Amino acid sequence: MGYRIALFCFTIRLVMRDWGEILARRIPQGAVEEGVRLSEKTTLRIGGPATCCITAHRSEDLAAAVQTCREEGIPWFLLGGGSNVLFSDRGFEGVVIVAKPDGVATAPGNRLEAASGLELMDLVRLAEARGLSGFESLAGIPGSVGGAIVGNAGAYGRNIAELLESVELITEEGEVAWVPPDSLEFDYRESRLKRSSEVVLSARFRLAEGDRDSISSIIRETLATRAEKHPPHDAATAGSFFKNLPPETPGGRRIAAGLILDRAGAKGMRVGDAYVFEKHANIVVNRGHARAADVLELTRAMKQLAFDHAGVILEEEVRRIGFTPEELSRRAVQAPATV
């Protein structure tokens, strides 16, 4: 029996090593690495090794990497700027495709086109330089354009879906197509792209012409507001961990998850090296040596605290990758026992 198990594990390792060779052969321009720790690729700086990691600096290489994994039956995960994601301590048994194409095309008038790997803040600055209004409230949000579209990133009552004209996708059938935003089922911090295997290659935005000085002033105010309550840029965090709750009345403002957690006393909670930021109760920070298991335990306690205090069940905004269903389900909120 022991011999059979050893032979099976050896065979699996050979198959995994072949994944890197296949990708290197099919995408010679891509940087293929094996056994890269995902803590080096994510803003939370947590995560075990990926079997293989390929960095795609061109849109065509990104498309080729996705298609290769699909055709070869290789498990894969697309990573942009590395924010808004928590990988398990075991890592990811498959290929992590890091999207780094960062091209920007401008068009006459009020349109911009950006590759998915472009940092969102770079797009904000480009719009500012062109005197185009719309991105001001998104200033300071970490991550890439593609990741922002997938999660419909936003702040201060605006989201990126409102600015989209069309999105270039690799479809589930392997075709490259431009699709309208209303086909992507955008919702608060959600889109169809979170649930499908479609991949964002680039996007076109329609903005409004505005006064450059006024746009710059709003961006400065937005960044200053974020700086007052968010960790510094070099802090290890995935961003807001839980989604804000629906408004109490139709058309009203969403209820901030951070406010509920603050009132419940979550600030300063800690498990291992993972702790709740002292200025924002919806942000988890890695002090340096936090494990994914620490973050899961801490956020479970935060959810339970919010439920006990306000009777609400918070929903994770950060995507959790590489965990078993049992690991996630056993950390569900528990209602008080009734007699």
φ, ψ (nearest 5 deg) of residue 31: -90, 110
The answer to whether residue 201 is domain-embedded is yes
Q: Is 176 helix (H, G, I), strand (E, B) or coil?
A: strand
Q: Which helix (H) or strand (E) holds 230?
A: none
Q: Which CATH number belongs to the domain containing residue 116 in this structure?
A: 3.30.465.10
Q: Does any domain span residue 173?
A: yes
Is 225 inside a domain boundary?
A: no
Phi-psi region of 147 (alpha: psi -120 to 50; beta: other; left: phi over 0): alpha
- The pairing of strands 270-271 and 176-179 is unpaired
CA 14/CA 252 separation, integer angstroms: 56
CATH number for the domain harbouring residue 285: 3.90.78.10
What pLDDT shows up at residue 251?
77
Q: Which residues are catalytic?
A: 189, 240, 317
Instruction: Convert 153-181 to b/e letters by CB count within 10 Å (16 or more is b).
Output: bbbeeebbbebbbbbbbbeeeeeeeeeeb
pLDDT of 268-302, one tens digit each? 999 999 999 999 999 999 999 999 999 999 999 99
- Domain boundary, last residue among 45, 71, 99: 99
Domain match, 29 and 76 both: yes
pLDDT digits (tens, 9 = 90+) for 218-247: 999 999 999 998 998 889 999 999 999 998
Domain that holds residue 238: 232-329
Do the domain assignments include residue 219? no
278 and 294 housed in the same domain: yes
User: Is there a single domain that holds both residue 207 and residue 245?
Assistant: no
Count of domains forming the chain: 3
pTM of the model: 0.85
| 223 part of a folded domain | no
209, part of any domain: yes
Nearest one of 62, 54, 18, 13 to 36, comparing CA atoms: 54
pLDDT digits (tens, 9 = 90+) for 179-204: 999 999 999 999 999 989 899 999 99
Q: Say whether both 68 and 113 belong to one domain.
A: no
